[in-house]
Amino acid sequence: MSDPARTRIKKSERPSRPAVPAMPAMDALDATHREVMSTLQRLQHWVEQLESDGIDAQTRATAKEICEFFDSSAREHHAAEERIVFPKLLGSGDEEMVHHVRRLQQDHGWLEEDWLEMQPQLRAVVDGYSGYDIDFLRAAVPVFTELYQEHIALEENIVYPARRRQG
């Protein structure tokens, strides 16, 4: 068996390469939407699994991953939209577009509120506590999921295309 410390290539020994451009901001936002949709499916399945199997290593690990996603990536995504997408559209003078953006901003608040209500339930499972409320989760997850799906549909079908046209 070889010594990993000896076989590692030091960064200074690597050949230099041209820098790779960063993913365009709008493409990165689209990619996060796909992650949100996938994570929402996992959340729905997780509630079913928790209800049938209770707390086990898998439900704890999944709850941790879901918490990490909504605590970080989803929040960062909303903040990026508030910085990158919304300002130009709010200043566009298009009343209908301004209405859509205001709705999305309101959604961000509601999604955060919903998450703050659900997150302690998932954290209880992560920590191995049985003090979660399965009835609450069964009711809350579909509401959260539906709002996110409608939110993403409005962004991808109307708001993002308008923002891309602005350059």
Per-residue pLDDT of the chain (167 residues; tens, 9 = 90+): 455 555 555 666 777 777 755 545 788 899 999 999 999 999 999 999 999 999 999 999 999 999 999 999 999 999 999 999 999 999 999 999 999 999 999 999 999 999 999 999 999 999 999 889 999 999 999 999 999 999 999 999 999 999 988 87
Phi, psi of 20 (to 5 degrees): -95, 130
Would 108 be classed as within a structural domain? Answer: yes
Q: What is the CATH number of the domain that holds 146?
A: 1.20.120.520
**Domain span at residue 79?**
26-166
User: Could you give the C-alpha distances from 108 to 130, 148, 154, in angstroms and in order?
Assistant: 30, 9, 13
pTM, entire model:
0.84
Residue 97 covered by a domain? yes
Q: What is the spatial distance between Cα 133 and Cα 118, in angstroms, rounded to a whole number?
A: 10
Q: Residue 140 is encoded by which pair of tokens?
A: 């809350």
**Is residue 21 in some structural domain?**
no
What is the number of structural domains in the chain?
1
